[in-house]
Amino acid sequence: MVFPLPLQSLWQLWRLRTRKELLQWGIAALQAVESAPLDAELLLTSSLQVSRTALRTGSEEPVSLQQKQRYLSAITARRSGTPVAYITGQKEWADMTLTITPAVLIPRPETEELCHIIVEEARDTPPRSVLDVGTGSGCVALFMARAYPQAVVTALDSSAAALAIARKNAQTQQLPLQMLHSDLLRKVARKTVYDLVIANLPYVPDDRPLSAEVEREPQSALRGGKGDGSGVMRRFLRQLVDWEIAWRECWLEFDPPQKDALFSYAESLGITECVFYKSLDDEWRFVRLQRTTPSLSIPSQTAGV
């Protein structure tokens, strides 16, 4: 929903002189937004092209007309429901500054939780090969590449536009990723082994109402199908079992109400080793599936970013 700025607010904007005054104006302009103070600050640092520290220490620095115009544009976009990450073109996530565009989902805190759980659980058996299915911005693949510098990490997505963003983030973070354009596992080479498979797939039911802000994100990366929304995950699990791919363990992020049905479906496929984990909000949100298979072939580290 668009909330036009009152003429009085626009008049006040042109009279502002310092960064501090501009920030206060931005917070007031976003008063209908729950995260107004943080959003106003992030949009101002982007408009001024300074860090948050520089903004705070240089709060009395003067602002130019061009900077005011950029900030007005950013505030207007935010008031219309555009997520901050799409306005600034970046997102701070897991101590990484990632490039973000409307071609990819904005990385969530829950997904960072999942990454930390995976690394903690694998502390005694670090993976040599990792497959990230539905990589989007590449956030999970990059987290794993940073945690396991000796591992071969493959980032897979059905969207070429998303893979382009993941590739850019890999280059910025200077972390090697192999890229694979594929609908789930269809183009994964047969007889390949992955010690670790991570699939953060669409799981929101098609008929579930979403906020106007979340509706701005790519729905193909959010909506998991009719019913409980687990259709994409079920298709992935079926491929995981049917494809000639060896894997040691697979992690999924899911919608809490899907827990029991997900376990039943995995069990019907012969996957009986399922361990569920709660997120920090005390919801069942992650599952580890385990399987013992002989090693077949390890992907080579020849392909870079």
pLDDT computed for residue 191 by the predictor: 86
Q: How many domains does the chain have?
A: 2
- Which tokens in the block code for residue 181? 């354009």
In the chain, pLDDT over 90 holds for what percent of residues? 86
* pLDDT tens digits, 229-278: 999 999 999 999 998 888 999 999 999 999 999 999 999 999 989 999 99
Same domain for 207 and 98: yes
Q: Is residue 304 part of a domain?
A: no
- Print burial letters for 28-48: b (CB count within 10 Å at least 16), e (below 16): ebbeebeebeebbbbbbbbbb
The enclosing H or E element of 290 equals strand 284-290
4 secondary structure, DSSP code: P
- Give the confidence band of 291 by pLDDT, cuts at 50, 70, 90: confident
Is the pLDDT at 7 greater than 90, yes or no?
no
Could you tell me the residue range of the domain that residue 284 belongs to? 91-290
pLDDT average, residue stretch 5-24: 84
pLDDT computed for residue 9 by the predictor: 73
Q: Is residue 125 part of a domain?
A: yes
pLDDT computed for residue 2 by the predictor: 52
CA dist 233 and 251 (Å) reads 11
- Which tokens in the block code for residue 274? 């399922």
* pLDDT tens digits, 194-224: 999 999 999 999 999 999 899 999 999 999 9
Closest CA to 180 of 305, 297, 289: 305
Same domain for 105 and 175: yes
- Residue ranges with strand state E in 200-239: 204-205, 223-225
pLDDT computed for residue 296 by the predictor: 43
Mean pLDDT rounded to a whole number for the chain: 92
- Give the confidence band of 283 by pLDDT, cuts at 50, 70, 90: very high
pLDDT computed for residue 45 by the predictor: 97
The pTM of the full predicted model, rounded to 2 decimals, is 0.90
Q: Is residue 86 part of a domain?
A: no
- Give the confidence band of 74 by pLDDT, cuts at 50, 70, 90: very high
Task: Calculate the alpha carbon distances from 158 to 35, 48, 69, 221, 227 in Å.
Answer: 33, 36, 38, 10, 23
Q: Is residue 297 part of a domain?
A: no
8 A C-beta contact, residue 88 and residue 98 = no
Same domain for 22 and 105: no
Q: Is residue 221 part of a domain?
A: yes
Q: Which residues contact 217 (CB under 8 A, 6 or more apart)?
A: 83, 102, 105, 106
Same domain for 259 and 175: yes
Task: Calculate the alpha carbon distances from 240 to 119, 235, 268 in Å.
Answer: 22, 9, 13
Q: Is residue 296 part of a domain?
A: no
Same domain for 272 and 211: yes
Q: Is residue 15 part of a domain?
A: yes
Say whether 206 sits in a helix, a strand or coil. coil
Q: Helix %, strand %, coil % for the chain, to 5?
A: 40, 20, 40
Q: What is the CATH number of the domain that holds 13?
A: 1.10.8.10
CA dist 44 and 88 (Å) reads 10
**Residue at a domain's end among 15, 46, 81:** 81
Same domain for 277 and 224: yes
Place of tokens 């280059």: 171
Same domain for 72 and 220: no
Is the pLDDT at 110 greater than 90, yes or no?
yes
Same domain for 104 and 24: no
Say which range, 86-90, 117-121, 294-298, has the weakest mean pLDDT: 294-298
pLDDT computed for residue 302 by the predictor: 38
